[in-house]
Amino acid sequence: MGSYYVYIVECSDGTFYTGYARDVASRIEKHNLGTGAKYTRNRGPVKLKYKEPFDTISSALKREIQIKKLTRKEKVKLIEGGST
């Protein structure tokens, strides 16, 4: 398990960004270099707060959508180890 990951980073302004990647460390580096997602370009540096492994890209993308629909409070709960 773990070919794909859904991750949450916290931006320097305190907001969260959720994405998916095969190599989370590389993706975080891109966010911090300003070459990642448009949302994070002017909000760096970002810090990894959560990651979740998946076997398929399809399941990772479905989970990414679920997480993006969560409220900030629910995302904090997920990051802290609660299920959502």
pTM of the model: 0.92
pLDDT band at 1 (very low <50, low <70, confident <90, very high): low
Q: In the numeric block, which tokens belong to residue 33?
A: 């270099």
- Cα dihedral 44, 23, 19, 62, rounded to 10, equals -170
Q: What percent of the chain has pLDDT over 90?
A: 92
Does position 82 have pLDDT exceeding 80, yes or no? no
| Mean pLDDT across 34-56 | 94
Does position 84 have pLDDT exceeding 70, yes or no? no
Distance between CA atoms of 75 and 69, rounded to whole angstroms? 9
Q: Which residues of 11-36 are buried (b: 16+ CB within 10 A; e: fewer)?
A: beeeebbbbbbeebeebbebbbeeeb
Domains of the chain listed by start with CATH number: 4-79 (3.40.1440.10)
Residue 55 is predicted with a pLDDT of: 95
Residue 36 is predicted with a pLDDT of: 87
Does position 13 have pLDDT exceeding 90, yes or no? yes
